[in-house]
Amino acid sequence: MGEGTLSIRQVAQKAGVSSKTLRYWESQGLIAPAGRTHTNYRRYTQAHLERVLFIRKAQSLGFTLAEIRQVFELARSRQAPCDAVIRWAGEKARELEGQIRMLQDLKARLQRYRRRWVAEKRPSTLGPDEVCQCIESVALEDLREPLSPLPGKGGEKSGSQTDRESLPRLRRLSGRRGL
């Protein structure tokens, strides 16, 4: 096991994933266990690399690891998984439409409030029980259902992030550096 095989670093680099990801996918059965050298280093074949690239392609379309596992299980049982993939793609597209509508609504509300906040004159100091007059001015009617977290993101645990830790996330989400 050496000639024509790839190290974990080589596979990771070619596939655009980390070595840790490869070890995780192997532990979850998404890729077959790699062969080992006499010093216990993993050695991957071209078939491993192709499987990893398949997973990356499926992920790029929004498929979860659980869905990808189901695709592999269907293929292993010699059933073509394409019908299931087409069905899942339709479901994902519908979910995305709902999320897009929710985000468009949020964007419009934020823009509306921002315009109002910029136009209003606010004192430069806070009262004893005030936190932020801008947020406090949000109408109770706008407290509809709480917004669900962004796709793929979990809700933050209470008190788990400081403002300093959450600012980089806000910058990434907004695509702006000046936040």
Taking 70 as the threshold, does the pLDDT of residue 20 lie above it? Answer: yes
Per-residue pLDDT tens over the stretch 60-69: 999 999 999 9
Residue range(s) defining the domain that contains residue 35 = 6-79
Distance (Å, whole) CA 170 – CA 110? 14
In this structure, are 53 and 111 located in the same domain? no
- Could you tell me if residue 102 is inside a domain? yes
Distance (Å, whole) CA 148 – CA 31? 33
- Could you tell me if residue 130 is inside a domain? yes
Taking 50 as the threshold, does the pLDDT of residue 146 lie above it? Answer: yes
State the DSSP string of 112-155: HHHHHHHHS---SS--TT-S-HHHHTS-GGG--SPPPPPTT-PP
Share of the chain above pLDDT 70, in %: 79
- Could you tell me if residue 15 is inside a domain? yes
Spatial contact of 35 and 5, defined as CB atoms under 8 Å apart: yes
Per-residue pLDDT tens over the stretch 124-134: 888 888 888 88
Supply the CATH number for residue 13's domain: 1.10.1660.10
Residue 100: predicted pLDDT: 97
